[in-house]
Amino acid sequence: MDISHNQTTEQLDGVYQLRSNNQIKGLQTIIRDRQTNRSDFIFYSDRLIRLVIEEALNYLPFQPKTIITPTGSEYQGLEWTQNICGVSIIRAGESMETGLREICQSVRIGKILIQRDEETSLPKLYYVKLPKDIADRYVLLLDPMLATGGSSKCAIKVLLENGVKEENIIFVNLIATMDGIMTVKKTYPKVRIVTSEIDTRLNEQNFIIPGIGDFGDRYFGNI
φ, ψ for residue 167, nearest 5 deg = -70, -10
Tell me the catalytic residues.
116, 120, 214, 217
Query: What's the fold here for domain 9-220?
Result: Rossmann fold (3.40.50)
What residues does each domain of the chain span?
9-220
Q: Does the pLDDT of residue 8 top 70, yes or no?
A: no
Tell me what pLDDT residue 10 has: 55
Within 8 A by CB and 6+ apart from 94, the residues are: 88, 111, 142
Q: In the prediction, which pLDDT does 2 show? A: 42
The average pLDDT across 41-62 equals: 97
Does the pLDDT value for residue 9 go beyond 70?
no
Contacts of 169 (CB under 8 A, 6+ apart): 138, 139, 141, 156, 159, 188, 190, 191, 192
* Amino acid 82: pLDDT: 87
Q: Is the pLDDT score of 150 beyond 70?
A: yes
Q: Decide: helix, strand or coil at residue 29.
A: helix
Confidence (pLDDT) at 132: 95
User: C-alpha distances in angstroms, 118 versus 122, 124, 168, 196?
Assistant: 8, 10, 32, 31
pTM metric for this prediction: 0.91
40 three-state secondary structure: helix
In which order are the strands placed within the sheet that holds 192-195?
15-17, 192-195, 169-172, 138-142, 84-90, 108-116, 123-129
Q: What is the pLDDT of residues 100-121, one digit of tens each?
A: 999 998 899 999 999 877 666 6
Which tens digits make up the pLDDT trace of 64-92? 999 999 999 999 999 999 899 999 999 89
* DSSP 8-state assignment for residue 98: H
Phi-psi region of 57 (alpha: psi -120 to 50; beta: other; left: phi over 0): alpha
Residue of 128, 148, 129, 139 lying closest to 190 (CA atoms): 139
Q: Average pLDDT, whole number, for the chain?
A: 92
